[in-house]
Amino acid sequence: MALEKKLNVATNDILKTVRGRNGGTWGHWQVALAYAKYLDPNLHIQVNEWAKRYVEEEVDPEKGVDRAVKNWKRQGKTDKWIQTRLENKQVRHQFTSTLQEHGASKPFHYANCTNAINKQVLGGTSKELKQTMGLAKSANLRDNLSRVKVAALGLAEALAEEDIEENQRQGYKQCLQSCDEAGNKVKRALA
């Protein structure tokens, strides 16, 4: 099986069947998707369209940006909000890269540094804010904020990134402190 070779695992690591009362069949997501495509021709067509779109966006990334803009417009976002959000995505990427380069590279480091900023700028952690706003856990918080709040988070992340680099902060605790201080600066500026 090609998937066995690609993942360098045995068949029973890809597909498992348990007989009996509490039995069932479990498979790697690629096996499950292949079977679902076999069962439903419409799903097969949809998955092929998604794959084609992905390949096109790999060749021409602007198509991905255009798709994101179209989806945000469908959600009722303004051109100004979309511009701010797109700019903020690049700031966010630079911020997380800086955290990683300075030793704050575990998933909970990113989450806690982000929440240090969120607490200062927005008044709560991402989880708390989503609950308050009635959003699903999987929802993107920034996609549900005003343009000013998105920009404020971006400013705080840019300030934290600058502080981490200029002052050669190293390790999670120092990066977290920079994030808290940057969030506090933006909070004071907005007051």
Helix 41-59 to helix 29-39 angle (10° resolution) is: 130
Same domain, 157 and 99: yes
Same domain, 84 and 172: yes
Residue 100 corresponds to which tokens in the numbers above?
Answer: 């990683």
Query: How many domains would you assign to the chain?
Result: 2
Q: Using the predicted structure, report yes or no on whether residue 142 has a pLDDT greater than 80.
A: yes
Same domain, 91 and 173: yes
Same domain, 98 and 184: yes
Same domain, 95 and 39: no
Domain final residue pick, 59, 89, 108: 59
Query: Binning pLDDT at 50, 70 and 90, where does residue 10 land?
Result: confident
Query: Cα separation of 182 and 161, whole Å?
Result: 9
Kindly write down the DSSP assignment for every residue of 20-46, as one continuous string.
STT-EEEE-HHHHHHHHHHH-HHHHHH
Same domain, 185 and 139: yes
Residue 67 lies in a domain: no
Same domain, 17 and 86: no
Helices vs strands, H then E, count in the chain: 9, 2
Measure CA of the first residue to CA of the last residue in the chain; give whole Å.
61
Residue 100 lies in a domain: yes
Residue 43 lies in a domain: yes
Percent of the chain surpassing pLDDT 90: 79
The residue type found at 22 is N
Residue 55 lies in a domain: yes
Catalogue the E-assigned strands of the chain: 15-18, 24-27
Same domain, 82 and 48: no
Same domain, 172 and 91: yes
pLDDT, tens only, 101-132: 999 989 999 999 999 999 999 999 999 999 99
Domain final residue pick, 59, 85, 102: 59
Global pTM reads 0.74
pLDDT at position 84 is 93
Nearest residue to 162 via CA among 104, 109, 95: 95
Same domain, 137 and 170: yes
Residue 69 lies in a domain: no
With b meaning 16 or more CB within 10 Å and e meaning fewer, what string describes 91-104? bbeebbebbeebbb
Residue 71 lies in a domain: no
Rounded mean pLDDT, 36-46: 93
Domain with 126, as residue range(s), is: 77-190
pLDDT, tens only, 77-100: 999 999 999 999 999 999 999 999
Query: Binning pLDDT at 50, 70 and 90, where does residue 74 land?
Result: very high
